Amino acid sequence: MRTIIKLFLFVLFVMSVSNLNAQVKNLPIAEGRFKPTDESLKQYQYPAWFRDAKFGIWAHWGPQAVPRQGDWYARNMYLENGPAWANDVYKYHLKHYGHPSVFGYKDIISLWKAERWNPEELMKLYKKVGAKYFVSMGTHHDDFFLWNSKIHRWNSVNMGPKKDVVGLWQKAAQNQGLRFGVSEHLAASYTWFQTAHGSDKTGDIAGVPYDGNDPQYEDLYHGKAAADDTGWMTKNPVWQKEWFDRISELVDMYKPDFLYSDCALPFGNEVGRSLIAHFYNEDLQKNNGKLEAVYTCKEPSKGRFVQDVERGVLDSISEFPWQTDTSIGDWFFRTGQKYKTSEEVIQMLVDIVSKNGNLLLNVVQTPEGDLDSDVLKILEEIAGWTKINGEAIYGSRPWKNYGEGPSTTGKQEKGQFGGLKDVQPYAADDIRFTTKNGTLYAFCMSTPTENIEIKSLGKLSKYSSKAVASISMLGSTQKLNWKQTESCLTIKKPVKLPEYKVVAFKINFKK
């Protein structure tokens, strides 16, 4: 009898797995020309708006900002003996909130009120700074949704600020004429959040399960993963399908112009490709057959989408448009954090644009929703620069050569997740190029201390095909002295230079 029961249960299991696999292969994709295959996705054509935009601002913001301890709080608060940086978070949580078996991440969520958040005013500022698109976080690895979800109770309309964060951001962006996007970090959540299922290994309450083990909160912390399911993205097909259902809800409800996944192509399989195809097809329907959607994830695109490089930049001109995502400081608010300077952000932007990329910059918000005075000052300085030099950035394309100088030949630090480090030291003779409508723009990446020599524009250079007709400095009416010789184009150091470091010269050629 026991053998028959075991056989019956095994048959049920096989049938359920088979049924699930069938569901995964037949996910509900909007009708259209894109199918969940690489070949089909290679039909993608990069929208002009994204190629022209160059600069976006991101609100990587949510309840994990509440403790003011930076990124990954929801995971690290459950690591009793993790790395030093993670262990400090556990100790901080114990001291300020209590033991995670009693006061867990679910209780942090209720403390997030966003009481000083004014999306309309922030969006006006971001437009002034020079952003052409804005991205709201949809959900981080903490499985908390910032939209008015109908299928997941852990969302910002039901809890915390009791506001549709994505919806309000979208309205503000549209009011300012900015393209709108959302970021999803859910694919990694299933394995990332497994720390909540642990318990202390030492001390007075060793072995007492953390609150992630309570079945009534499984829809936040997920179930217990299989022992071998430890990668960045889960192997569990049930969870993969759940991811598709939840992110497609986000796409269906808000119909964003831009969607970011914090991973390589999700799960590397048909589930991830189905979501991309669905996003593209739905956008085609929204725009009467014109594809305006941009999807970005962290692997070379091969023309299927936009490659994203986190905390790094590519080292050369890319055939396909790409994007750097980075933060002005930590990813979530952290007391005492160090911010990038305005000059570092501007240098990043110029270097990235010269290589056919865009910059998506996270502007760190306090848990209350406003910005530090230091951040406001940095943004005002960037705004001053883009107002004067924006013509060399927006709508531009890479030139024959992205740049010259020590930074193009010397050894540079590697980025965190590919390419080169986003912030690099630049010398006065480091040059970057962009072009638009036949005009060439040459950026000095640091304040010129001597005459500017541009070897790429020497008469015998392989990049130089036309004689220079005129040169001016953006933001200035002063007459410049220059000379084009066989070896280089020399611009005499201007008598008066701007206060900012990155100086742009406009170069026109003879017809």
The pLDDT score that the predictor gives to residue 285 is 98
What is the C-alpha to C-alpha distance for residues 7 and 327, in angstroms, rounded to an integer? 55
Query: Under DSSP, is residue 462 helix (H, G, I), strand (E, B) or coil?
Result: coil
What is the C-alpha to C-alpha distance for residues 138 and 119, in angstroms, rounded to an integer? 15
Is 321 contained in some domain?
no
Is 398 contained in some domain?
no
Is 480 contained in some domain?
yes
Percent of the residues in the chain that have a pLDDT greater than 90, as a whole number: 91
Hunting for tokens 């990235």 — which residue is that?
A: 352
- End-to-end CA distance of the chain, in Å? 92
Helix (H) or strand (E) holding 125, with range, is: helix 119-129
Is 225 contained in some domain?
yes
Which of the listed residues 291, 310, 329 is the one where a domain comes to its end? 310
Report yes or no: 436 and 395 within 8 Å, Cβ to Cβ.
Answer: yes
Model pLDDT for residues 185-238, shown as the tens digit of each residue:
999 999 999 999 999 999 999 999 999 999 999 999 999 999 999 999 999 999
Question: At CB < 8 A and 24+ separation, what contacts does 154-160 make?
Answer: 154/109, 154/219, 154/220, 156/62, 159/109, 159/110, 160/63, 160/109, 160/110, 160/111, 160/112, 160/113, 160/114
The CA-based angle 137-343-400, given to 5 degrees, is 90
Low-confidence ranges of the chain (pLDDT < 70): 1-25
List C-alpha distances in Å: 448 to 170, 353, 472.
41, 21, 15
Which of the listed residues 290, 310, 330 is the one where a domain comes to its end? 310
Q: Does 240 share its domain with 97? A: yes
List C-alpha distances in Å: 186 to 144, 191, 245.
9, 10, 11
What is the C-alpha to C-alpha distance for residues 199 and 250, in angstroms, rounded to an integer? 34
The pLDDT score that the predictor gives to residue 20 is 45
As a whole number of Å, the CA-based R_g of the chain is 25
Is 104 contained in some domain?
yes
Q: Retrieve residue 18's tokens.
A: 């088979």
The pLDDT score that the predictor gives to residue 258 is 99
Average pLDDT, the chain: 95
Q: Does 171 share its domain with 299? A: yes
Q: Does 231 share its domain with 125? A: yes
What is the C-alpha to C-alpha distance for residues 339 and 325, in angstroms, rounded to an integer? 15
The pLDDT score that the predictor gives to residue 83 is 85
Total count of domains within the chain: 2
Sheet with 452-454, side-by-side order of all strands: 452-454, 489-491, 482-484
Is 376 contained in some domain?
no
Is 222 contained in some domain?
yes
Q: Is 340 left (phi over 0), alpha (psi -120 to 50) or beta?
A: beta
Here the CATH number for the domain that contains residue 48 is 3.20.20.80
Is 386 contained in some domain?
no
Which of the listed residues 310, 326, 352 is the one where a domain comes to its end? 310
List C-alpha distances in Å: 3 to 15, 100, 388.
18, 43, 79
The residue segments making up the domain with residue 505 are 403-509
Using H for helix, E for strand and C for coil, what is the string for 258-293?
Answer: EEEECCCCHHHCHHHHHHHHHHHHHHHHHCCCCCCC
Q: Does 298 share its domain with 412? A: no
Q: Does 407 share its domain with 303? A: no
β-pairing verdict for 312-313 and 357-362:
unpaired
Q: Does 297 share its domain with 410? A: no
pTM for the whole thing? 0.94
Here the CATH number for the domain that contains residue 411 is 2.60.40.1180
Closest CA to 94 of 171, 244, 202, 251: 202
The residues that bridge with 361 in the sheet, in sequence order, are: 57, 326
- The count of other CB atoms within 10 Å of the CB of residue 221 is 27
Q: Does 283 share its domain with 134? A: yes
The pLDDT score that the predictor gives to residue 96 is 98
The pLDDT score that the predictor gives to residue 389 is 98
